[in-house]
Structure 1
Amino acid sequence: MSVWLPSAPCTPGACVEPDRAAAAVPRAVLRLTAVAVLLLAGIVLSPLGGRIPAEWVRRWSRTLVRAIGVQVRITGTAAPAGGLLLVANHVSWLDIPLLAAVRPARMLAKTEVRQWPLAGALAARAGVLFIDRDRLRALPGTVARISGALSGGAAVTAFPEGSTWCGRAQGRFRRAVFQAALDAGVPVQPVSLRYRRLDGAPGTAAAFVGEDTLLASLWRVARTRGLVAEVEVRPVIRPGAHPDRRGLAHAAQPAASAPAWTHTALVASALERPYDQPGQPKIGVHGGRTQILQLPAS
C-alpha cells in the first residue's frame, strides 16, 4: 500500500449521525446556490493569483463556509509570513477553505480533486500541488516539489493523515510531507479542526468519509442546522526543533489532532474488552476492511 494511500475505517453509514432537525429544503437549496456563486467568483478571479490580497482570500474562504450554514470560530496563534507548512487533521472538504481562512496557501491534494465540479477547476487555478497517491515512485518528486515551494517563501497546506476521518476518530500523521519542511528549513504550524453542534457536542455531519460523494456531502451539510467549525491554530514548530521527520511528525500530531481516540486505540480497545461494555467502540469487518460500527461518546 502506498504511503499516500492510508485507509480510514470511517463510513457515512457507521459514523455520520443524521440531523433530526434538518433545515428546510428551500433553505438548503439557497445555501448551495450561494456556495456555487462564490466558487464561480473564485474561478473568475483566480487568474489574478498573488495579486489578490491575502485578507480578501481569508474573507472569501470564511464566507464560503458560512454560506453553506456553518459557523466559523478561529482561535490561537497567527500564522507567520514566509515559507510555512500548515498541517491539520482531516475531516471534511470544508477543511480546505477553513485553512485558507487561517493563511492562504498552496494546497496538497489528491489528483481526484481535479474532477470535483467547480471546486476542481478552482483548485487547479489556485496552484494546488496534486499528488498521485497510487504511485509510490512519485513520492520523492512530490516531496521535492513541496520543498521547492516552501523554499520560495510559499505556504503549503497538507493533511498528513492522508485520508478523511469522521472527527471522533483520527489517523496518525504520515512523515513524508514533514521531510519537505526539513529540507526547506521552514517552520511547521499545526492546526486543529473540530466540528460541533451548538450545544458543544461533536457534530459528524461535515465528515466526508468512505464512499461518500461530494454532492451527497454538500447536501447533508447544507441541510444541517447549528453546525460550528472550530479552528485552533497552534504555536509554530521552529526549524531545527526536531532533527528528523519522525520527530517532527510526532510533535505536530498531538497539537493538530482534536480527538483522543486514534483508530489503533479504537481497534485495540474493542479487541481487548467486551463489545457490550459502555463507552467502548464497536468494531466490525466489512468487505475485508476493519470498520468502526459505533464510536464512544466524546
Structure 2
Amino acid sequence: MPAPRHSAAPHPAAAPASPWQPSAPCSPHSCIDAAASMAAVPLAVLRFAAVLTLMVAGSALLPVVRRLPVAPRERIIRTWSRAVVRATGVRVRITGSAPPHGGLLVVANHISWLDIPLLAAVRPGRMLAKSDIRKWPVAGALTALSGALFIDRNRLRALPETVARIAGGLRAGSTVVVFPEGSTWCGRAQGRFRPAVFQAALDAGAPVQPVRLHYRHDGGPAGTAAAFVGSDSLLTSVWRVLTARGLVAEVWVTPVLAPGSAPDRRGLALAAQRAVESAKNARQDPYACL
C-alpha cells in the first residue's frame, strides 16, 4: 500500500477530547482527493432529494417497522439501508454474511457516515454512537429511534456502564454495532481496535463479527471521497459523496470469532483487527456490484 497522505502532523481539530477517545491524523486538507465539477451538480441535487426522501420516510415508518416480527423487520431495514447508499450514487458490493440469529457484536473499521447504513445492510442492529450524532438533522432522530446506544466520549466514567449495556443487549439476543477504532480514518490506513467494547462480548459469551469497509473508484484504486474526517462538516462530506463519480462501497463480512476464541479482550480485539486487515486481500467477483 502506498504511504498514506495523512502521515504528516495531525490536524488541530483531531486532538482527543478525553484520555480514552482516540483520534486519527486524517484531515480534509491532507487526505481527501475528490474534486467536484459543475456538471455533477444537477445529478447531485437529485441524489440529495432521493436520500432526504428515504431518510424522512424511514423516520416516519420506523416505529411501525419495529413492531414487526424479526425476520420481516430486518429484511425491510436491510433493503432500506442499501437503498440509502445507492441513492447517493455509491454502488454496493457485499461479500459474505453474518449469522441470522442470536446476540452478535459487529465490529468494523470506520471511514464514513455511509458505514452505518452499509453495516445495517449486512445485519441490522443497535449502534454504539457518540452523543453528538443526536444533533444531526434527520439522521440523528432516525439513529435514536433505531435504539442506538449513545455515549458521551468526554466522560471516562461512562465506559464501564456502556460496556455493561452492550453486554446486556448481547445477552438479550440483540446485534450491537461498534466502530472500535473510536474515530474515522480516511481509508488509506486504519486505526487500532480499542479493547474495551470487546469485554462486553466476553461477558455475554457472544460471538464477534469483524467486517471490513472499503471505498474505491469503479475500476480504480482506493479513494477517499467518502471519508468523513477531522474538521469535515456532515453537509460537506455528504455533498462530496453526491458529486463523486463511480464510487463503490465494498463490504467484507469475515468469519465469526466464536466465544472463547481469545483469552481476554485485548486478544479478541487484536484477532478482530487482524481479520479486518487481512480481508483486503480477499478475491471478489467483479460483477457483484448492486
- Which AA in structure 1 matches 2:262? H
In 1, Cα distance between the equivalents of 2:277 and 2:220? 17
**CA displacement at 1:22 relative to structure 2:** 7.3
- Aligned residue among 190, 193, 199 for 1:170: 190
SS at match of 1:176: coil
- Which AA in structure 2 matches 1:75? T
In 2, Cα distance between the equivalents of 1:68 and 1:42? 16
- Which AA in structure 2 matches 1:200? G
Please name the residue that 1:145 is paired with: 165
**CA displacement at 1:161 relative to structure 2:** 0.1
In 2, Cα distance between the equivalents of 1:7 and 1:259? 23
The verdict on how the C-alpha distance between 1:73 and 1:245 changes in structure 2, with shifts beyond 3 A counting, is same
Please name the residue that 1:41 is paired with: 57
The verdict on how the C-alpha distance between 1:130 and 1:22 changes in structure 2, with shifts beyond 3 A counting, is farther
The verdict on how the C-alpha distance between 1:3 and 1:83 changes in structure 2, with shifts beyond 3 A counting, is farther
Alignment check: 8 A CA contact 2:108 2:212 kept:
yes
- Aligned residue among 125, 129, 145 for 1:109: 129
- Which AA in structure 2 matches 1:105? G
- Which AA in structure 1 matches 2:219? D
In 1, Cα distance between the equivalents of 2:223 and 2:168? 37
In 1, Cα distance between the equivalents of 2:185 and 2:125? 22
Alignment check: 8 A CA contact 1:23 1:223 kept:
no
SS at match of 1:257: helix
The verdict on how the C-alpha distance between 1:256 and 1:23 changes in structure 2, with shifts beyond 3 A counting, is farther
Please name the residue that 1:133 is paired with: 153
Matches within 5 A, 1:1-20: 2=18, 4-19=20-35
In 1, Cα distance between the equivalents of 2:55 and 2:265? 36
Aligned length: 260
Matches within 5 A, 1:23-38: 24-38=40-54
Deviations 1:93-126 (A, max 9, x none): 0000000000000001100000001000000111
- Which AA in structure 1 matches 2:31? C
**CA displacement at 1:257 relative to structure 2:** 3.5
- Which AA in structure 2 matches 1:41? A
The verdict on how the C-alpha distance between 1:22 and 1:155 changes in structure 2, with shifts beyond 3 A counting, is farther
Please name the residue that 2:267 is paired with: 247
- Which AA in structure 1 matches 2:230? G
**CA displacement at 1:21 relative to structure 2:** 6.2
In 2, Cα distance between the equivalents of 1:45 and 1:156? 21
SS at match of 1:113: helix
**CA displacement at 1:78 relative to structure 2:** 3.3
In 2, Cα distance between the equivalents of 1:187 and 1:3? 28
Q: Indicate the percent of aligned positions where both proteins have the same amino acid.
A: 65
The CA RMSD measured in Å over matched residues stands at 1.6
Structure 1 gaps of 5+ residues are 261-298
In 2, Cα distance between the equivalents of 1:182 and 1:219? 40
TM-score (norm 1): 0.84
Matches within 5 A, 1:195-214: 195-214=215-234
**CA displacement at 1:50 relative to structure 2:** 4.7
